[in-house]
Amino acid sequence: SLKTVVLGTGSYLPERVVTNDDLSKIVETSDEWIVQRTGIRERHIAAEGETTGDLAVAAAMQAMEAAGVTAADIDLVILATSTPDNTFPSTATQVQARLGITRGAAFDLQAVCSGFVYALTTADSMLQTGVATRALVIGSETFSRIVDWTDRTTCVLFGDGAGAFVVEARADADNPEGRGVVSCHLRSDGRHKDKLYVDGGPSSTGTVGHLRMEGREVYKFAVAAVTDVIEDAFAATGESAETIDWFVPHQANRRIIEGSARKLGIAPEKTVLTVDRHGNTSAASIPLAVDTAVRDGRIREGHMVLLEAMGGGFTWGAVLVRW
Ligand code: ACO
């Protein structure tokens, strides 16, 4: 059989850093309120004219360099985003072109904050069935463009950024260590639309719209949903809070992350936290956090890594990877 092995990771954050104090000049808020409720201290915001595609290209180039591959080696690009450059064509095809990739397929995938977990699961399926052999899986977002900057209950939560994995289909004979994606678990329940959505779009209003959220409702659902799908992942694989080396959750809110980890019995030192410096970057948050932990030497070959996310839809899911 074939396993989906991670060859390299990369990430990119826009230059401009916006602190909580900076935000307190735009809306009535404070560093103390934001840190206490969310753990967020600062976030990066894209420059005028800097797009999701630009961020994605930078992250992808870094991932390809880390993986030691060139454009000719890639035959699949999946870009998870809810903030594409254009309604069409997909941002993925434009990233493909800018990277000089001329074969295979490229498409966008939209599952909001669960986008990267959905994209990695999709890539894993396509590599295992021989549809493609080497893929770029990217999460890239510019939520600053859809946030309502007059709404203090949401605008303080989000940031812009991108992260990417290069993954390769590897036969068991070439993979004695058993590296690669172990198990994928996706869930969605569309009945929860009203709790987290954008109030616009091409077919409804003809406008881009703004993000709307009932934060407390999302919070309540998040901890329960995330622990439930991780328990399914543990049950399916025999892995557990004790056997995993790293827990890399979607970075929405420090309290959601710590609440889920506590319920699952995952030790705090196994949790990778970047929400303090990145804010919630939606589909980009997991590959950004993974790349941070790979580059600072925490995540290493052989480690068992648990990725998990929950977002609009609602959508949620978990992926276990032997690094
Ligand atoms: N600064 C100061 N005060 C604020 C701010 C702010 N930025 N935002 C809200 N408040 C006020 C509210 O107006 C309210 O005031 P009131 O009591 O006078 O009415 C008070 O603070 C409490 O508001 P709540 O919404 O009840 O605060 P809560 O403790 O629930 O925290 C938060 C809000 C942080 C949004 C929390 O509900 C949360 O984290 N929810 C999950 C949201 C999330 O992570 N979403 C993303 C996940 S899915 C995805 O990633 C797309």
Where does the chain have alpha helices with state H?
A: 20-23, 31-38, 52-67, 91-98, 115-128, 152-155, 215-237, 254-264, 275-278, 285-295
153 lines ligand 1 (CB under 6 A): yes
User: What does the block give as tokens for 166?
Assistant: 């290069």
280 lines ligand 1 (CB under 6 A): yes
Residues 55 and 168 in one domain: yes
Give the model confidence (pLDDT) of 69-99 as tens digits.
999 999 999 999 999 999 999 999 999 999 9
Instruction: Return the pLDDT at 313.
Output: 97
Catalytic, 113? Answer yes
Q: Is 19 helix (H, G, I), strand (E, B) or coil?
A: strand
Domain boundary among 150, 174, 198: 174
Catalytic, 253? Answer no
Which residue has a Cα nearest atom 2 of ligand 1?
A: 29
Residues 254 and 109 in one domain: no
Q: Give the mean pLDDT of 30-40.
A: 98
Instruction: Return the pLDDT at 64.
Output: 99
The confidence band for 119, taking pLDDT boundaries of 50, 70 and 90, is very high
Burial code (b: 16+ CB inside 10 Å, e: under 16) for 47-77 equals eeebbbbbbbbbbbbbbbebbebebebbbbb
Q: Is 305 helix (H, G, I), strand (E, B) or coil?
A: strand
How does DSSP assign 253-296, residue by residue? Answer: -HHHHHHHHHHHT--GGGB---HHHH-B-GGGHHHHHHHHHHHT
Residues 14 and 160 in one domain: yes
Residues 73 and 209 in one domain: no
Domain boundary among 141, 174, 207: 174
Cα of 38 vs centre of ligand 1, distance in Å, is 8
Side-chain-side CA neighbours of 75 within 13 Å: the count stands at 11
295 lines ligand 1 (CB under 6 A): no
156 lines ligand 1 (CB under 6 A): yes
Distance of CA 311 to the CA centre of its chain: 10
Q: What whole-number percentage of the chain has pLDDT above 70?
A: 100
Q: Which domain, by its residues, includes 55?
A: 2-174
Residues 275 and 291 in one domain: yes
Catalytic, 280? Answer yes
Instruction: Give the chain's domain count.
Output: 2
Q: Give the mean pLDDT of 50-66.
A: 99
Instruction: Return the pLDDT at 274.
Output: 98
Residues 132 and 158 in one domain: yes
Q: Give the mean pLDDT of 191-196.
A: 98
This complex has an ipTM of 0.93
Residues 126 and 168 in one domain: yes
The confidence band for 302, taking pLDDT boundaries of 50, 70 and 90, is very high
The confidence band for 46, taking pLDDT boundaries of 50, 70 and 90, is very high
300 lines ligand 1 (CB under 6 A): no
Residues 48 and 190 in one domain: no
Q: What whole-number percentage of the chain has pLDDT above 90?
A: 100
Residues 8 and 155 in one domain: yes
Residues 35 and 144 in one domain: yes
Instruction: Return the pLDDT at 40.
Output: 98
Which residue has a Cα nearest atom 51 of ligand 1?
A: 311
Instruction: Return the pLDDT at 106.
Output: 99
Give the model confidence (pLDDT) of 174-185 as tens digits.
999 999 999 999
The confidence band for 141, taking pLDDT boundaries of 50, 70 and 90, is very high
Q: Give the mean pLDDT of 214-228.
A: 95
Which residue has a Cα nearest atom 42 of ligand 1?
A: 215
Instruction: Return the CATH number at 256.
Output: 3.40.47.10
Domain boundary among 154, 174, 194: 174
Instruction: Return the pLDDT at 196.
Output: 98
Give the model confidence (pLDDT) of 226-281 as tens digits.
999 999 999 999 999 999 999 999 999 999 999 999 999 999 999 999 999 999 99
Which atom number of ligand 1 is nearest to the Cα of residue 309? 50
Instruction: Return the pLDDT at 259.
Output: 94
User: What does the block give as tokens for 133?
Assistant: 């052999």
Residues 120 and 162 in one domain: yes
Q: Is 71 helix (H, G, I), strand (E, B) or coil?
A: helix
Instruction: Return the pLDDT at 285.
Output: 98
Cis (ω within 30 of 0) for the bond into 314? yes
Instruction: Return the pLDDT at 14.
Output: 98
Helices 52-67 and 91-98 cross at an angle (nearest 10°) of: 50
Residues 251 and 110 in one domain: no
Q: Give the mean pLDDT of 213-234.
A: 96
